[in-house]
Amino acid sequence: MTAAPTWEVFVLEYARAKDQPVDSLINGTHDDGLMDTPFAFVFARSGGRNVLVDTGFMREGIGAEMSERFNVPEWISPLRLLAELGVAPEDVTDIVLSHAHFDHMGSIHKFPRARLYIQKSELLSWHEAMALPRQFGYLTAIINPDDLRSMFDASVEHRVTLLDGDRDNLLPGLHARFGPGHTIGQQFVVLETARGNVVVSGDCVYGARNLTGHSHDGVYVPLNNAIGSVWDQLRTMDRINDAIQGDLGRLIILHDVERWKDMPVQAEVEGFKIVRAA
Ligand SMILES: [Zn+2]
């Protein structure tokens, strides 16, 4: 029997929103004031595969407009951070997308060889939402239409895999888990590593307290930035809690306001951290 594949996992911080109300992301925090919210994506490698979980966004075109609108003044190119790890865009073999918000898939057009994996319900629900009359614009406020165009281009090139729910071993030792709530077809990712399973949250969780409860009573706290139901959000949080066996050290929260403080820093580029998660 051969040993199970293990993944090396890095979290790459590439942007920060300034003075964002905590209450805009996490329910029941109206007295918590403002925070600077980090933005991140994940690089993982194993057995010749160079994998991204999400991609960050490029500050060009509509992506630049959106970073203004959402007050994200601090940014570094995701490509610059990957270069720090010795990874060129054409080296990236696979990209697993948690969801289609611009800050998670706004660089997919920079990776010409990568296969893209997204939940079918995620991609198609955005196409449907885009087609609704303009009074439904709240639904698509965080969607960059150019990213959907890039997804279509990649589809024409047969580089897109549409997932329909959970997929064990999407890549060896990398598991996709359906996690609706923040969006209709959100997914989170479980990676088998040398220190056990590590979970990439997508935006299923914005902060530890979504899982721990406001007073550490374990009562899940909903998101305040979501288009799916609270029931779906909490069911997804419960699945994540199962996947990490209640150990928050196994969870990578992409917008972690504490900036992955328990994970060793691999590099720092212009004030942005690359930390090693496994
Ligand atoms: Zn999101």
Count of domains forming the chain? 1
The verdict on residue 3 lying in a domain is: no
Ligand 1 geometric centre to CA of 203 (Å):
5
Q: Which domain holds residue 224?
A: 8-276
Ligand 1 geometric centre to CA of 190 (Å):
18
Counting Cβ atoms within 10 Å, is residue 111 exposed (0-12), middle (13-18) or buried (19+)?
Answer: buried
Please spell the DSSP secondary structure of 146-206, one letter per residue: HHHHHHHHHHHTT-EEEE-S-EEEEETTEEEEE--SSSTT-EEEEEEETTEEEEE-TTS-S
Mean pLDDT of 128-151: 98
CATH code of residue 123? 3.60.15.10
Give pLDDT tens digits for 33-80.
999 999 999 999 999 999 999 999 999 999 999 999 999 999 999 999
The verdict on residue 2 lying in a domain is: no
Ligand 1 geometric centre to CA of 101 (Å):
5
| Number of residues assigned to the chain | 278
Ligand 1 geometric centre to CA of 264 (Å):
26
Q: Given this model, what pLDDT does residue 20 score?
A: 93
Ligand 1 geometric centre to CA of 227 (Å):
10
Give pLDDT tens digits for 252-265.
999 999 999 999 99
Specify the pairing of strand 196-200 against strand 187-193.
antiparallel
Q: Rounded to 5 degrees, what are φ and ψ at 211? A: -95, -35
Q: Given this model, what pLDDT does residue 2 score?
A: 54
Four-residue CA torsion sign, 191, 43, 35, 225: negative
The verdict on residue 1 lying in a domain is: no
114-135 as b/e: b if 16+ CB within 10 A: bbbbbbebbbebbeebeeeeee
Q: Given this model, what pLDDT does residue 76 score?
A: 98
| pTM, rounded to two decimals | 0.97
What number of CA atoms fall less than 13 Å from residue 203's CA on the CB side?
A: 29
In the structure, what pLDDT confidence band is assigned to residue 5 with cuts at 50, 70 and 90?
A: confident
The verdict on residue 56 lying in a domain is: yes
Ligand 1 geometric centre to CA of 2 (Å):
38
